[in-house]
Every structure is written in C-alpha cells, then in structure tokens.
Structure 1
Amino acid sequence: MTTTIGWDIGGAHVKAARVEAGRLVAVTQRACAPHLGLAHLEAPIRDTLAELGPADRHRITMTAELSDAFVDRTQGVVSVAAIAAREIAAGEILFYAGARGFVARAEVAQAARAIASANWRASAELVAQHCAEALLIDMGSTTTDLVPIRKGAVAALGETDAERLAQGELAYAGFSRGAPQAYTSRAPVAGRWTLLVNESFASMADVRRVLGDLPEGDSRADLSPTADGRPKTVAAASARLSRLVGEDRLGDAQARAFADYLARAQLRVIEDQIALLDSRNAFSPAAPVVGAGVGRDLVARLVMAQGRAYRDFADFLDAPAALAAAAGDCAPAASLALLRLES
C-alpha cells in the first residue's frame, strides 16, 4: 500500500494530509512562526510528521518563503526546502513547482520562482480533474485565491504573487488574520462616520468572533495569538475592535454593527476581484464557484447571493464527511497528496 503525505508549509500554519492507497485518511494543521526563528518552523513540521507517521512519498508546497526571516523568496524557498527535507528525512521528497509539476531537492534553487507560493495551483489542479468549468475561491486565514478553470485546465493568467495580485487572482483578504482597517478607512459608529485607528489593535478573527462566524473555543480557523494577548472570547474581541474607533468598549449592538460593516468591506474586495475576472470572461457564467479554505462558508454566502452555483471542495474528496471538511480547510495539502501528476 502506497502512502503519501501532502504538505503546505506556510508562514502561519503547517498543514498536512495523509493518503493511503489513494484514499484520504488524515488531515492536520499547526501554527508556526518562522519570523520568530526557524525553530518555530522546524518543530511544527516535526510534530506533524510524528502525528501522521512515516510515508512512502512526501509532496511539498510552501508559502513560508514570504516570511521576513528570509531576505528574499529564493533564499526562503531554499531554506524551507532544506528544513523540510531534514525534518522529514525518510521517503521520497518532492517539491511542487506549479505548472512544472514536482521537482527534486537538487532542483529547488533553480526552480525557486516556480515553487514560491504555488500552493493555490495544487488545489486548482485537483478541482480541474473533477470539474471542467469552475471558479475556485479558496479563502484561507490570510489570503483569498481566485482561480478560473476552463476546459478542465487551470486558466489563471498569473503565476507569481505579483502577477496574481495584478490579475485579480489573489487578494489579501483572509478569514481570520490581517487588519480590519485594511479594507476601509472609516466606519459608521453611533450615527457618525468615524476614521479608524491604524494600529494593530484587532484582527479579522475578532470580527468573525463578534459575528458568530468563529465560535468561542473553535481554534480550527484561528491558531494565531490575539493582538493583545487576551482571550479569544466575544467580549475580548469586542474590546479589541472598539479600540479601532478610539473607544474602550462599544455596546453589544454597536459592536456587532461595526463588525458587520468591517466584514462586508472585506467581502467587497473579493466581490471586486470576481467582477474583474468576470469582465475578462475568465470563467463561464454558468460555471460553479468551488469554495475551499477556512472561510469557504462566507464564500458560499457571497456567491449564492449573486445567484451563482456553489460547490464545496470537500465534494471532490473520497472521505468521511468530517475528514473531507477538514481537508477543505487545508485544500493545497490534501490536493498534493491526491493529485495525479507526473513526478
């Protein structure tokens, strides 16, 4: 029986999925923080391998090269590849280089540009094997990928982060990480337009928690620490958001209205990217939107409000419902373990 582990090594999370004989059997994720020192990347990889066990094959994609632990992406790719190879050690280890497929470690430096932040394409390739026409929207904790699929193939115009940002295929609009004031400079509070304080007082996780999209005690979509080190409760989240408008504590109703406004401001960024892709006929009007990532419930609400068909990434996975849902949160890792690509 052949066993494969797909890895998505990011700057905030290490995600991995194990496949045995072509069937998904386990998915896991851990927080990481390479910007605090590379030991904060090595340990989560080591712990993930200990949880999932050894495998015949390891397929690795990454975004951790973006960490400011590295002077540039090439150094980051080479360093992350070296860490992964050292910590995993046993089994065949290959790195995902986007449209080029998989490359061995000896080719990593030469293929660094293609390897860097190519995780979005792994998910899109898997969707394309199941759905000939679609728009994949993967809303992760930090970013949202929008990938058109036409005639059973990935139809993205961009490959690098810079190209994808310019083409409307990548938005720094994530479910839980990032600053709420990134999407608007002001908000209506108590009947007045109020300028937002541009400080790191709160995150989008606080917005989600106040709105009930991120229940107290649910760490699945929020593994990062809070901005002030205080608890991940509705009350503490409301206090953090209140500081963005210069208040110690907004009333419950006002805090919820404020959070709702911030959430809608962020979703407008994603709506704008969909409109941009639509304007260039990047995907068929009848094509479903396939949602992936921890924020895909929000994606589903958005696209169904637009009258578009919706499918969940988990629909394409042969696994029990709970496991498929977990894999939907970690779509690139699960996709790498399952993809039928030439090595």
Structure 2
Amino acid sequence: MRYSVLLTSRMLDFIDKIQGIEGFASLREISRRTGLPHSTVWYFIDKLAKYRIPLTIDIDISKIGLSRHVIVLNKRVELEKVFKPFLGFYAPALSNKTFLLYYIPTKQLNEVLSVIKRKLRETAEIYEEYPICFEYSSKVNFKEYFVKGEVVFKWNCMRTKVMENFKNKLGVSGKICEQHEVQHKFDGVDLLILAFMQMYPFERLKKLVNKINMFLKSHGYSFTLTYSKARYHLHEHIIKRGVIRKFRIMASLLPKEKTYYGVLMLKGDLDKILSVGIVLTEHPSFGRLHVSKAKKTGLIYFAIPVNEASNLASFLSETGLDWDILFLDRFKRKAYTIPSELYSVFTRSWVTRSK
C-alpha cells in the first residue's frame, strides 16, 4: 500500500541506528552515536513525528514495580464507564467486546486486581484475562519493509525466518518468569519523570521539569520538583538502573480508513510463539509481543491493509499455533502513560482504593 511520505536513505539509516542505542541517550549522545549533527538529529525526530512514526522510550516496568494484565470484557463498554485507575490501554472491539490493559503494582497484585475486577463487573462480565509476564519487540526493519514510499509485506521471506527460528529452537520459554520483582527502591519522582518522558522523550530536562510542575499545580499538589532533584533521579534512579531499555518506534503508517487494527492471539508452545513474534515485530505494521505464560498465549498488536488480511491468516495457519484475531476500533482506542499519579509520595506505596 502506498504511503504519502518518502523516507530518504539517511532517515532510514537514522531509524536503524537510534533503535540500536541501548538505554537512554540525550540528543548530544544520539548525535555522537549516529554521526549526525545535532540539528539533523532534531530535524529527523521532528519529521518522523509528523510522518506518524514517533519515537518514545521503552520502559522496563518490572524495574518500577509494575506488571501488565490484559482483561477482555464480554461486551462493548464506553471509556467513561471503564475503571480507569491503573489503566494503560483501552479499545472497544468490533465483535462487541472491550480490550483493556492495566499496569498493576506487582507487590500488591492480588489486592489491586481484585479491586479492578470488582469495579469492571459492575458494567460487564470478564470474558478473558491474560497475566503478562514477558514482552518482546524486535528492531523495526524499515529498510526491508518500507520500499519507495510503500509498506511491503514479504510473507515468503517472513515464513522462511520463522522456520529458521523453529529449527534453531530458541529455548527461551524456560527463562520467562511468572512475575517480575522490583530490584530496587523507586519513588513518585521517578514515576513522574518516566511518565512525562514517555510523552516528551527528547525534551530538555529543564523544560520537562516545567511541564511536570505545571501538571502538579493544575492538580492541586503543593509539591514542586526542582531541576537538581529531577537530574539526580533521572541519572541515579532511572538511567543507571536500566529502567529505560531503548528508544522504540511507534509506527502508524497506514490510512485508518483502509486498515484492520487489532490484536493477534497466538496460543500453544511458547518457543513457537516467540519465534513468530520475533519475525512479526520486525515489520512496522506489528507492535510488541506480550506473553502470558499462564495462558500459553502471545498477544501482538497490528495494523495491516485490508487486502493483506487473507495473507496474514495464511501465514498464521502455517505456524502450527492456534490463533485468533480481536479486531479493535482504532478510532476509539486510548493509551495512557504509567500510573504515576497513583503512587503516594507520603506513604511510598500505591493507592489501591478508588471512590
């Protein structure tokens, strides 16, 4: 399918290089590692955002004491009626269901999850749920799948890569744990910085602090974040502890009117699920893979042209996995940052009760 923007070879090189940077890097550091002038780096970042290919930070939420939990409701529920504390993603499904992703404090998992379920059952029944214990996303390969202004799907090539992964027997499923345990202390300042960095990953720290303080003031907080405190937390609590894994591409290249948007549900052997996920997440039309070991299920977000749907179905049928697709309403979806406002700076714990 044709796209309205032609990415130059230099921009494609930049996308490839910035995805290869481990951890967090300032604009100056990105300039050094990519070999591009500071002004060119900023120009590319701005252009990509305008082309609907924004960059954000990839956070290891286990290191700030959070776990992901997916809940599918048995009917379509409007956002206004959904329980919002700890909500990370909302999208009504076209099949009269509702897809929800929550960020839940790991150490208070049962307590918070029981509150969420109780609140949700006031409006709908829970159809399915998936405790997510592992996530994976490959480096998006724009050089291979974005050719002359067109998103291409090389299904035969992708099949070959999957079969090679099957033969190599990745053997990574045994390394997937059921729950993540936070390895160090964190606080509300860390969470605030991370939440705003998700929205403004390349903002200078002084400007980021100003945005945070405006948010605090508008919400009635008496606390004011100083630049020195923010700088200390960013470097000592976030960067040094590897909370930010890398920069991540959030590609949304295709016209909404001619696109199927949804979640793939792959069920079966975890090694096979990961083998397929590694290949699919290299393509700009597929998002990250979330794995539920308890349910032996992998979830992958996607947005593909309508005329590629049958090819996707054929590709999935050859993997040997059971699979299903939950088509979502792309126009009504809503994503949220990590729930920083639910962490009490006074008790140093998560606020789990809701009115």
TM-score, normalised via structure 2 length: 0.26
Greater length-normalized contact order (CA 8 Å, ≥ 6 residues apart) = 2
